[in-house]
């Protein structure tokens, strides 16, 4: 396990995660495609919001189960509580400090979010 730090573009929102960042998921659903998120899940005990709670805004759609959190100052999507596991945090890996160094050794797996109901049955997060 390693500690990673991340933030939005303007720096208002900062967080840290403790995880083994060996895999990340790229989803092709309508919202993930538009925002360009690269996901990595962590349980609540391994996620900590360091600053910027007041700068976070929430976006929900469809079933309104998933919570998509973004900075209301700069608009960057930082993390979500995903529909398949709303108690967890799905971090946008692209928001981590030193992203290019971090992603170098990460296996990026594809999730077929366009066919979510079927894909979630067999995908290993």
pLDDT tens digits, 55-100: 999 999 999 999 999 999 999 999 999 998 999 999 999 999 999 8
- The share of the chain scoring above pLDDT 90, in percent, equals 75
Q: Is the pLDDT of residue 123 over 80?
A: no
Q: How many CB atoms lie within 10 A of CB 34?
A: 9
Q: What does DSSP assign to residue 106?
A: P
DSSP H helices in 1-125: 30-35, 99-103, 116-122
Tell which wins on pLDDT, 121 or 36.
36
CB 21 within 8 A of CB 3: no
pTM of the shown model? 0.88
**What's the pLDDT band for 116 if we cut at 50, 70, 90?**
low
Q: What does DSSP assign to residue 96?
A: B
Least Cα distance to 42 among 78, 97, 91, 4 occurs for 91
**What's the pLDDT band for 110 if we cut at 50, 70, 90?**
confident
Q: Is the pLDDT of residue 51 over 80?
A: yes
Domain 2-122 falls in which CATH fold?
A: 2.170.150
């Amino acid at each position: 396990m390693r500690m990673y730090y991340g933030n939005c573009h303007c720096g208002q929102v900062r967080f840290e995660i403790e995880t083994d960042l060996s895999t990340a998921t790229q989803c092709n659903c309508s919202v993930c495609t538009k925002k360009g998120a690269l996901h990595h899940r962590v349980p609540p005990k391994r996620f900590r919001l360091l600053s910027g709670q007041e700068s976070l805004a929430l976006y929900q759609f469809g079933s309104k189960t998933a919570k998509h959190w973004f900075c209301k100052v700069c608009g960057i999507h930082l993390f979500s509580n995903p529909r398949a596991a709303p108690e967890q945090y799905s971090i946008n890996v692209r928001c981590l400090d030193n992203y290019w160094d971090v992603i170098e050794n990460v296996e990026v797996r594809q999730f077929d979010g366009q066919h979510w109901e079927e894909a979630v049955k067999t995908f290993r997060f």
